[in-house]
Structure 1
Amino acid sequence: MNQSLKNPQMKKTLIRITLWMLLATVAGCILFVGLSKLQAAQMMRQNIAMAGRMSTEDDAQNIAKLFTDPISEQDYEAGKALLSPYGVNVEMDPSLYQPYQSLLMQQLIGFCFLMLVLWGIVMLCCLRGMHGIFSQIRSLSSRVRQAADGNPKMLPAINEGDMQSLENSINLLVERSGFGMESLQADKMFLKNLLSDISHQLKTPLAALQLYSDLMLDHPDMEPAQREEFLQQSSQQLARIDWLIQGMLKMARLESGSILMQRKPTSLSSVALSAMSPFQAMADLKKVSLVSQIPDAISLNIDAEWTAEALGNLIKNALEHSHQGGHIRLTAKDTAMTVQLSVIDDGEGMESTELPYIFERFYRKQSQVKSSSVGIGLSLAKAILAENDADIYVKSAPGHGSEFVITFLKKSF
């Protein structure tokens, strides 16, 4: 209660109530004085009429009736004629009439006492009510400060009304701020990990480029064949850096929602051929058979360009893990609920312990993945397919190759 009394709003409210009560008391006193003058005139008229009847009547019973019967004009005129010579009439100053003064004083004292009691009751009710309101406000303020300090907590239920509405609004604010802070922390952690991963991924190709350039500068008389080999190695490292940067830009655009998939009915076979085309030369160099066995009749409502990008990443991954003379097949199965697209290779395969991590960004097996790999292709493929309402998983075993299965739900077509 003491804390509430120190509240400036509480003080202002109590002062306003006191001023209004004082104004009401003054107005009531003025009204009482005005009404008492009318009462004094009525009492004087009654007394004048009584004096008039007493001057004309000897019968005590008739005189007593004047206390209960209405005043007659005859009695009043008789009394007026009797008392006027002495200055007694209804227009005389009420202050000269002692019964009036006594009655007025009693009424004013009673009215002021009543107003004082009423003021006390009003002040007590206001103190109790406002103390409860300010206590709730302090509690709400404390919860808001906790939310601002990173410790959001939902508020307990309060009685219905405006405070309930305020509580609901603050709960909504706390909930959203909590989500916002969690999202901010996640974004900060994501950015930290991303910068760390990019730094790590760029370190190797940049170091190789620096080494090749230093060797060629330090040995201007280097054999042309060796210089050409260094230039080819530098070109490969530059291609690796370009792949990393392009992949990260695509991932950033996908995660920010700035890419709008242009979906339309598309032949799955044509998308597969478009994805295979850039890797046909690489497959020929490794003597790997790269074929599509997807029926022409299968059509999906997808973004053809981005889906081809995702398939291309899966094909590139399969080529990197295939041996000389290996086989890579693209197949599709049309079921009642789904269309399943598979990229199958007979390469080196993977351990079961690796399968949960292969779609993570920059994940790769250092012992088996070629140095040109940056470990972003599968993560990018999964993100693209998710934007096309498709899911992907892998089946693999060491020495038996891998099968990446993409599942499109027909209800999303």
Structure 2
Amino acid sequence: MDVKVMFLSNIEVKSFIIKYIGLFLVSLMLSLGVSFLSVNIIKNKVVENNQALIGNIISENPNMESNIVSIITQGNSKENLELGKEILEKYNYDNRISLRNEPIITSSIKSLFNLNALLIFVIFVMIFALVIYYLKKIYNDIKDMTDYVYNSSEGRNFEMNNKNQEGQIGLLKTELLKMTTVLKEKVELLNKEKIFLNDTISDISHQLRTPMTSLIILNDLMYEDIPKETKIEFLDKIKSQLKRMEWLIKSMLKLSKLEAKVIDFKNEKVNINELIKRSLQPNLIPIELKNIDLSINGDKNIYYIGDINWSTEALVNVIKNCVEHTPKGGKLQINYDQNPLYSEIVIKDSGEGIDKNDLPNIFKRFYKGKSSTKEDSVGIGLAMAKSIIESQNGDIYVKSEKNKGAEFHIILHKTYGD
């Protein structure tokens, strides 16, 4: 758009032009009024002068009254105009006479000057008032924005006036509000990231402390004079601890990436039946060893949009948790279905259930239930599952009662175009 067109379409410019035109019309009317008064003043002086002239002539020549009066009142007799010119020229009274030597003008000039001076003063005051009005308005808006920026930079709340006003200043205020909001969000995000990084480092340090201590003790014992069988046993324990540390570090890194939202999840068509089959593979041996009755129910053609690899990681952890808490000869049911809004996977075990006090914290990382008997449990699997599912526009929650098993519900919401 042309700059000139944008300028003229501006609400503040429009308002100023309208008020200026109104002021011009008022000034024009005042000017016409002053002109009328000026003419009226001169008219009064001319009438007064003619009255004095007729009085002097008629007092000397009464018989000339009708002729003189008709000339003055009607102004249509110019028979003796040249004679009058000749007579008055003898006294230097003609078109070249100075204004200050003309008695009518001289007697009227003060009144005319005062009227015009008053007109100029009134017009000046009106223009000055209009300019001051707009300057004050602009100054107040600038001061308001300056105060807002200053208080925002100091971390104090400040309510800006006329946030929704029209025009370029209103647009500037809106953009300023947007900018400060974005900056505040970024500052908050940076603070959260600092806290998150600090917590992550603390968690990794805490979780590695126990296996590291075990490794140091076992390593020191290896220097002792001990039987070969004991050394082999210690080496097996060291190997086991190293594997545990490797798993823990990998899991922590995955969880940290998930919670920091730095992973790009794929948006592909995922068959839920295939997803469940993949997720069961790492858990088939424990299921078989514990003789758990496994049942899977659902339409094999149901799908959702997501990342099958990360989704498998989530389901593996949920199924692993259910298998670990299911007794020998227990049951594990996996049901899945869909409706127009979402797809749902329900994983139900017949284990000891979850205490109601533990339910609100079950998906927090490194949380171990008060009734948990697994010493090597870290409490990271369900937290990772929750992060993965929520990162794919999903939800997860659990229903459970003590001694009645646990029921995990995984909701995968559909997006437009699914």
Distance 1:174 1:345 in 2: 52
Distance 1:361 1:206 in 2: 17
Q: Offset of 1:120 from its aligned partner?
A: 4.4
Distance 1:411 1:142 in 2: 44
Q: Does 1:319 align with 2:338?
A: no
Q: Secondary structure at the match of 2:155?
A: coil
Distance 1:367 1:183, change over 3 A: farther
- 2:94 is matched with 89
The equivalent position to 2:73 in structure 1, one of 49, 68, 71, is 68
Partner amino acid, structure 1, of 2:84: G
The equivalent position to 1:394 in structure 2, one of 395, 398, 409, is 398
- 2:357 is matched with 353
Q: How many residues get paired?
A: 367
Q: Secondary structure at the match of 1:391?
A: strand
- 2:333 is matched with 329
Q: Secondary structure at the match of 2:335?
A: strand
Structure 1, 237-246 or 371-380: larger mean CA deviation: 371-380
Q: Does 1:307 align with 2:311?
A: yes
Q: Secondary structure at the match of 1:308?
A: helix
The equivalent position to 1:230 in structure 2, one of 213, 230, 238, is 238
State the Cα deviation string for residues 67-87 of structure 1 (Å, max 9, x = none).
Answer: 222264433211122233443
State the Cα deviation string for residues 96-118 of structure 1 (Å, max 9, x = none).
Answer: 33433333343123322343344
Distance 1:245 1:369, change over 3 A: farther
Identity percentage of aligned residues:
22
Q: Does 1:293 align with 2:301?
A: no
- 1:199 is matched with 202
Distance 1:288 1:151, change over 3 A: farther
Distance 2:164 2:74 in 1: 60
Distance 2:358 2:264 in 1: 30
Q: Offset of 1:192 from its aligned partner?
A: 1.0
Q: Offset of 1:275 from its aligned partner?
A: 1.1
- 2:252 is matched with 244
Q: Offset of 1:141 from its aligned partner?
A: 4.3
- Structure 1 gaps, min length 5: 1-23
Distance 1:212 1:306 in 2: 32
- Structure 2 gaps, min length 5: 1-26
List aligned pairs for 1:205-220, cutoff 5 A. Answer: 205-209=208-212, 211-213=214-216, 215-216=218-219, 219-220=222-223
Verify the 8 A CA contact 1:322 1:345 in the aligned structure 2: yes
Distance 1:72 1:260, change over 3 A: farther
- 1:15 is matched with none
Partner amino acid, structure 2, of 1:200: D
Verify the 8 A CA contact 1:155 1:171 in the aligned structure 2: no
Partner amino acid, structure 1, of 2:233: A
Partner amino acid, structure 2, of 1:212: L
State the Cα deviation string for residues 135-193 of structure 1 (Å, max 9, x = none).
Answer: 5654554445444433445556699765xx74686367547745763674365246414
- 1:100 is matched with 105
Superposed CA RMSD: 4.4
TM-score, normalised to structure 1's length? Answer: 0.70
Distance 2:95 2:196 in 1: 102
- 1:17 is matched with none
Distance 1:159 1:80, change over 3 A: farther
Verify the 8 A CA contact 2:342 2:413 in the aligned structure 1: yes
Distance 1:250 1:134 in 2: 49
Structure 1, 336-345 or 85-94: larger mean CA deviation: 336-345
- 1:115 is matched with 120
Partner amino acid, structure 2, of 1:239: W
Verify the 8 A CA contact 1:395 1:403 in the aligned structure 2: yes
Partner amino acid, structure 1, of 2:243: S
Q: Offset of 1:315 from its aligned partner?
A: 1.5
Distance 2:69 2:211 in 1: 133
- 2:14 is matched with none
Distance 1:187 1:398, change over 3 A: farther
State the Cα deviation string for residues 307-340 of structure 1 (Å, max 9, x = none).
Answer: 3222112112223434455543323356797654
Distance 1:59 1:86, change over 3 A: same
Distance 2:415 2:99 in 1: 98
Distance 2:413 2:134 in 1: 60
Verify the 8 A CA contact 1:385 1:391 in the aligned structure 2: yes
Partner amino acid, structure 1, of 2:405: G
